[in-house]
Amino acid sequence: MRRAENLASQPSEEDLQAAAFLAKSLADENRLRILLAVSKGKKAVSRIVEELGISQPLVSHHLKELKRALLVTVERKGPFVYYQVADQRVLEIIAGLNDLAAGLLAQRTRF
């Protein structure tokens, strides 16, 4: 994968496909909330469910998608499965998206 400064010039088809896949993986509020919940360390599904107040099947579904996108790592200990953010840079991306969204929405005069 190329660095950000190179992507701005001429991204390849492969780079664009990878970026689109990642963007789709992040394009859900619950997935963003889950990533933030597991950003400071390993957490079991039950703990994520408690913290976010969403159903266990929904959390498990989103964790499966986040795992498929390589955004979380999985560790099994006995009957428990723990999840953690795979790369802290995703938190910077989420913060940047939040800033961008706030700025764009502040300029919006109608929906």
- Closest to 49 in 3D by CA, of 28, 33, 26, 29: 33
Half-sphere exposure of 50 (CA within 13 A, CB side): 5
Residues 46-101 have pLDDT tens digits of: 999 999 999 999 999 999 999 999 999 999 999 999 999 999 999 999 999 999 99
pTM (2 d.p.): 0.84
What structural domains does the chain harbor? 27-107 (1.10.10.10)
Is the pLDDT assigned to residue 7 strictly greater than 70?
Answer: no
Q: Which residues lie across from 87 on neighbouring strands?
A: none
Residue 54 contacts residue 30 (beta carbons within 8 Å):
yes
pLDDT tens across 8-35, in order?
578 999 999 999 999 999 999 999 999 9
Spatial contact of 22 and 4, defined as CB atoms under 8 Å apart: no
The pLDDT assigned to 8 comes to: 57
